[in-house]
Amino acid sequence: MALTLVIGNKNYSSWSLRPWIAMKVAGIGFEEIIIPLYEPGSREQILKYSPAGKVPVLIDGDTAIWESLAILEYLADKFPAAHLWPADPVARGGARSISCEMHAGFQALRRGCTMNLWLPVKSRPQGDDVMADVARIEAIWRETRARFGKGGPFLFGPFGAADAMYAPVVARFNTYGLPVVADTRAYMDAVMALPAWAEWTAAAMKEPWIMQHNEPDWPLVRGMPISA
């Protein structure tokens, strides 16, 4: 039975990008269902698949897996040949650590630089709290690449789950023109050169849904389905 990935708008749903790009790069086949966020009935539609009322959610037969990091763990168990986590236990522990940090943190960056691929790429100055998040992420990428990234252009060499967790950050850094150092830019360029990235972006540009409140100064709306 084919896997089904339920996601939000590709233009806005940063969390949906994570398992989607991981599966695409790994060659894991799936069908996708898009439920546009913040539309009338969105929450009710999502609740048909996810008890949390959020996207993404992976459907595997009678099994539903929600939360982006949990989906990546499930996929790693189901498809060990995809090597979503590094084989070396030390590297694997590092990959899980930085993935959990991404999943739980960087709220200032999330608030200040919401994902919106329709925005023209240009410099948009940010406050100290956002730039502190940027500095921490740059340090993570630099230190991880130096220690584990010798086998390819990504965090642990080949593209894996940790890269998928940080893919929305690449979009944010690029769209908002955040000042980054050369090695950060090189990593971003490698991610954005992936055919899967081009596929996601091209689809996002064709979407008809407009979230008026998802501009750079948009405050999060409580009680609505977002992403996880």
CATH class of the structural domain 3-82: alpha beta
The pLDDT value recorded for residue 81 is: 97
The pLDDT value recorded for residue 219 is: 36
The pLDDT value recorded for residue 212 is: 59
Q: Residue ranges per domain, the chain?
A: 3-82, 89-201
Q: Report the distance separating Cα 49 and Cα 51, nearest Å.
A: 7
Tokens describing residue 121: 């790429």
The pLDDT value recorded for residue 209 is: 85
Please give the model's pTM, rounded to 2 decimal places: 0.91
State the angle between helix axes of 161-175 and 14-26 in degrees (0 to 180), rounded to the nearest 10.
Answer: 130
Q: Report the distance separating Cα 112 and Cα 130, nearest Å.
A: 7
The pLDDT value recorded for residue 194 is: 98
pLDDT under 50: residue ranges of the chain: 213-228
89-201 CATH:
1.20.1050.10
The pLDDT value recorded for residue 1 is: 62
Q: Report the distance separating Cα 124 and Cα 175, nearest Å.
A: 9
